Amino acid sequence: MTRIRAILLDQRGSLFEWVPVCLAIGIGLYFLLRFEPSTVFLASVGLGAFLILLMGRWLGEAFSPLAIALVLVASGFLLAAYRAHDVASPVMGWRYYGPVEGRVVNLDRSSSDALRITLDQVVLERVSPQRTPERVRVSLHGDQSLSVAPAPGLRVMTTAHLSPPGGPVEPGGFDFQRHAWFGQLGGVGYTRVPLLAIAPPQDDQLELAVFRVRMAVAKRMLDILPGDVGGFAVAVTTGARSSISQEALEDLRASNLAHLLAISGLHMGLLTGFVFALLRLTIALVPPLALRVPARKLAAGGALIVASGYLALSGGNVATERAFIMVAVALTALMLNRRAISLRAVAIAATIVLLLRPEALLGPGFQMSFAATTALVAVFGYMRDHRIGMGPKWAKPVVAVLISSGVAGLATAPIGAAHFNAISHYGLLANLTSVPMMGTVVIPAAVLALILAPLGLDWIGLWIMGVGLRWILWVGNFVANLDGARSFVHGPEVIVLPMIALGFLWLCLWQGRTRLIGVAPVLAAFWLWATTDRPVGLIAENGALVGVMTDQGRALSKAKGAGFVAQNWLENDGDATDQFTAAARWPETPAAPLPGGIGVTHLSGKKAVAAFDGCAEGQIVVANQDLPKRASACILLDPERLQDMGAVAIMQSGDGVRLSSVRDRTGDRLWTPWYRDKMRRQ
């Protein structure tokens, strides 16, 4: 006990950095639950936290931080629960086809490159306001040449197919239902009918006014910089990626340069750093002024104002909000004569983000951003404290970029691989030749274009900006086409990333030699990741597709249809094969074999279902049409049965198999249809 007390006392002065970690643990525990906690449960958690806080007074100086840590964990749990209930809005529980009316509040593109519009103030035919979703998202397919151009705030109408947000494509997969819940997106679908404008854009909201400014800026940029260069410029300026081609996006992803598209800490840091240096230099060039005013504080204040404008122009999405908060904390520290870049500043930024949007914890953007920032601050802080130099003065910028790219790449690689199932082997090369171009050419040129815009000379800055962006696109294409540029890995279990994160944070935040304990969970997580087996069979939530594991990889039951599900299954396997090739692996036997002599049969279409006349004991039959309700010796899975289960994984268990459904993994949560069905029955 004395030894533990001494270790805890050694951590004094560095405990604040653990505040967001404890909050994140509580938030993570809330999302890991397989049931929705009741009011009594939440009240018990709150009461327990209060009692622990009172007990902390009697634990002494050494052990009281443990009590505070438990209170913060409980606070994170309650915060996530409050946020989940606060954003509650109607979610469709049925398929809908008919008139859809609403106001355009967002524009983007789907993975198939179709323009998508998000509508609020939604009106659906014969659907009461109490059951109408707060927002719906509609992809525009077919011939849209007669459509009105969707504009911010424009009220439009069309005839569309809508359905509830889909669940994970497999147990443990990305939960789009949860993502849609926090975005108040209650229905998704598509239309092949042209959009009709039924009311002009309104100026009743600041958000929509800023949206229109963003679209005007995007149009101006595309007029001067057409093609992917203009689309890239629009992305780094306004956050909109709808103008860049899928080919260019794929090259940037394969070369690990896709982060340059997102308005993140890199862009916000480069912009504010350039503006800060420019303002400080300008003040220094006026000696009477430089002698009378605090140049550094004024420059920091001016950079903060510019950062606020950049946040508004970018649309204020979660990633940009996170970057702005981190930059704002650093600039405020400068104005208060504090160290701008420190682990404490990172902790403050992370705490603010988690308090505002606790669900951001689950996204790759939050995880990668703070992993990279924490690692960079820790490494450079260690070099500063131990007086580790970076060589001669002329080499320091090059060494700094090399260290930054290497450290950030290593810190974010496991997160990127876990979420996107890909590793870019030449990402360091691509970043070393692209990030300096972003900082020395693209961002300064964007500021120059802004300064010259009132004179109508913004094309000068945009032309220079285009030179830098063309180079980055060329590097992305070159690296992406190198042999072995990218490899694919299978997805990990849910526990893997939290283990890596906690071990990594222990290494960075804990003081003393015991920080090396953090290596153990990281190594254990990688071992678990490497030894985790993928399901021997997968079944889509509507029975439209089946996949079984073979010696050649995942075999799919259909070469077309359910493409999104097929793509995700193959990516989660770490398989770069396309659906058509995977379908060629499907065995020619009536039932695809599984371990234990079990076979799975897929019935696709009404004719196949009508011809079904039973099956042998222990076999699994999947259909995309409802099967007749009759006694059967085998396991029957049709849309009606799958509706109560979600997507199903067939896992090897000893000499046989067992079924694991999405519902088994997620439970009945606010964002699941099963919870809403249960509430309606009560």
Q: pLDDT tens digits for 51-75?
A: 888 887 776 666 778 888 999 999 9
Q: Are residues 195 and 325 in the same domain?
A: no
Out of 309-323, 353-367, 631-645, give the one with best mean pLDDT. 353-367
Do 370 and 350 touch, CB atoms closer than 8 A?
Answer: yes
Instruction: Name beta bridge partners: 276.
Output: none
Q: Are residues 527 and 541 in the same domain?
A: no
Q: Are residues 374 and 262 in the same domain?
A: yes
State pLDDT tens for residues 624-664.
888 877 667 788 898 989 999 999 999 988 777 889 999 99
Q: In what side-by-side order are the strands of the sheet with 635-637?
A: 592-594, 598-603, 620-623, 635-637
Alpha carbons 530 and 174: distance in angstroms, whole number: 20
Domain membership of residue 440 as a residue range: 213-488
The share of the chain scoring above pLDDT 70, in percent, equals 95
HSE, side-chain direction, 13 A CA sphere, residue 499: 17
Tokens representing residue 209 in the block? 């006014």
- Determine what percent of the chain falls in helix, strand and coil, rounding each to the nearest 5: 55, 15, 30
Instruction: Name beta bridge partners: 623.
Output: 603
Residue 50, Cα to own-chain centre: how many angstroms?
34
Q: Is the pLDDT of residue 565 over 90?
A: yes
DSSP state of 668: B
Q: Are residues 459 and 545 in the same domain?
A: no
Least confident of 237-246, 298-307, 531-540: 237-246
What is the largest distance, in Å, between two alpha-carbon atoms of the chain?
Answer: 94
pLDDT of the residue at 171: 94
DSSP state of 391: S
Asked which of 167, 202, 237 is the last residue of a domain, the reply is 202
pLDDT of the residue at 7: 67
Residues 6+ apart with CB under 8 A from 282: none
Q: Under DSSP, is residue 486 helix (H, G, I), strand (E, B) or coil?
A: strand
pLDDT of the residue at 630: 66
Residue listed under structure tokens 């967001």: 20
Alpha carbons 365 and 173: distance in angstroms, whole number: 17
CATH number at residue 114: 2.40.50
Residues 6+ apart with CB under 8 A from 294: none
In a domain, 207, yes or no: no
DSSP state of 35: B
Q: Under DSSP, is residue 422 helix (H, G, I), strand (E, B) or coil?
A: strand
In a domain, 32, yes or no: yes
In a domain, 208, yes or no: no
- Sign, CA dihedral 164-168-171-174, equals negative
295: nearest Cα among 319, 313, 279: 279
Q: Are residues 345 and 450 in the same domain?
A: yes
pLDDT band for 179, please (50, 70, 90 cuts).
Answer: very high
pLDDT of the residue at 343: 84
Other CB atoms within a 10 A radius of the CB of residue 655 amount to: 8
Alpha carbons 222 and 589: distance in angstroms, whole number: 54
Other CB atoms within a 10 A radius of the CB of residue 511 amount to: 13
Dump strand ranges (E) for 347-438. Answer: 422-424
Q: Is the pLDDT of residue 23 over 90?
A: yes
Q: Are residues 247 and 362 in the same domain?
A: yes
Of residues 208 and 101, more confidently modeled = 101
In a domain, 91, yes or no: no
Asked which of 51, 86, 121 is the last residue of a domain, the reply is 86
In a domain, 445, yes or no: yes
pLDDT band for 679, please (50, 70, 90 cuts).
Answer: confident
In a domain, 636, yes or no: yes
- Overall average pLDDT of the 143-151 stretch: 81
Q: Are residues 372 and 521 in the same domain?
A: no
In a domain, 188, yes or no: yes
State pLDDT tens for residues 100-135.
999 998 888 777 778 899 999 999 999 999 999 999
In a domain, 385, yes or no: yes
Q: Are residues 364 and 380 in the same domain?
A: yes
pLDDT band for 317, please (50, 70, 90 cuts).
Answer: low
Tokens representing residue 467 in the block? 């030179």
HSE, side-chain direction, 13 A CA sphere, residue 426: 20
Tokens representing residue 475 in the block? 């590097």
Q: Are residues 415 and 544 in the same domain?
A: no
Do 377 and 341 touch, CB atoms closer than 8 A?
Answer: yes
Q: Are residues 436 and 547 in the same domain?
A: no
Q: What is the mean pLDDT of the chain?
A: 87
Q: Under DSSP, is residue 73 helix (H, G, I), strand (E, B) or coil?
A: helix
Q: Are residues 414 and 469 in the same domain?
A: yes
pLDDT of the residue at 661: 94
Q: In what side-by-side order are the strands of the sheet with 553-556?
A: 553-556, 546-550, 537-539, 648-653, 656-661
Least confident of 328-337, 441-450, 536-545, 663-672: 328-337
Alpha carbons 638 and 623: distance in angstroms, whole number: 5
Tokens representing residue 578 in the block? 């396309």
Q: Are residues 110 and 234 in the same domain?
A: no
Alpha carbons 109 and 248: distance in angstroms, whole number: 14
Structurally, how many domains does the chain consist of?
5
Query: The pTM is what?
Result: 0.89
Asked which of 158, 182, 202 is the last residue of a domain, the reply is 202
Q: Is the pLDDT of residue 1 over 60?
A: no
